[in-house]
Amino acid sequence: MDALLSGGGFDFAAAAGFASSQQNGFLPAHEAERVVESLREFTIEDVGSPAWSSQRQSLERLNVQAHHNAVTNSDEFVKEFLVSHDKVATLVHELLVIEAWKANVRFPEDALEASTTNMNAYLACYFEATLVNLLEIAFYHQDACEAAGDDALLELTDYCARALVYLNAGAKKDAEDAMRKKTAKELVNQTAAEELREKVRDARFATACCALTVLRYLTDYVNQVPLCVMARLLGAFSSR
């Protein structure tokens, strides 16, 4: 369990903390259940809206709490509530929405120079990492995987396939860029847009690593998942 919490070298709990540091610590079980019950599906047009942003913050808190429960070997009530209130498929839906948003929405370069826009753009991109990481924690348990349902599992399998393509191709360049030491002059002259691109790059790699773990759990449960999901797993990865 400790291995999956590492997130490919990206400290999810610490990163989520900056967004939830103004909140009152960890979530008690009754509040976590209330948050899970309130989760709903948004469209790509809703991304960035007040309601969407509020739910993003709630999911970040749930993710931190799920990590805390797993690390301390305590009652994993976040996972239990996601299963009992049938919200696992909602997480998958939100994951696909933010993936589509990232692929189709672009911030103008001049707008990224504004600190507020920069932070909003990063939070939206980081949200994908939060969702995959929460699914990773939940899918450690077979009942969470089964609770997702056929359609969500099919979509999640395809998502993991796209993540694997990235790890086999673009991840090498991202890793090389991340390892390159910047000079003092480069650091001083770094623009907000360049800083955002670096943060997005790091989150993208960590997200793909989490997706790889989710894929591992799907294959672990291959005899329990629906036949359509098994067929998709075999078809999506037989040539990779």
Q: Which value, in Å, is the radius of gyration of the alpha carbons in the chain?
A: 18
CA within 13 Å, CB half, 63: 29
Summarize pLDDT for 147-189 with one digit per residue, the tens.
999 999 999 999 999 998 888 887 777 777 667 777 777 777 7
CA torsion through residues 209, 210, 216, 218, sign: negative
CA within 13 Å, CB half, 125: 24
Instruction: Yes or no: say if 133 and 209 are a contact pair by the CB < 8 Å rule.
Output: no
What is the rounded CA–CA span in Å between residue 147 and residue 51? Answer: 26
Confidence of residue 38 (pLDDT cuts 50, 70, 90): very high
pTM of the model: 0.80
Amino acid (one-letter) located at 41 = E
Phi, psi values for residue 113, rounded to 5°: -70, -20
How many residues are listed for the chain in this entry?
A: 240
Summarize pLDDT for 97-132 with one digit per residue, the tens.
999 988 887 655 555 555 555 666 677 778 999 999
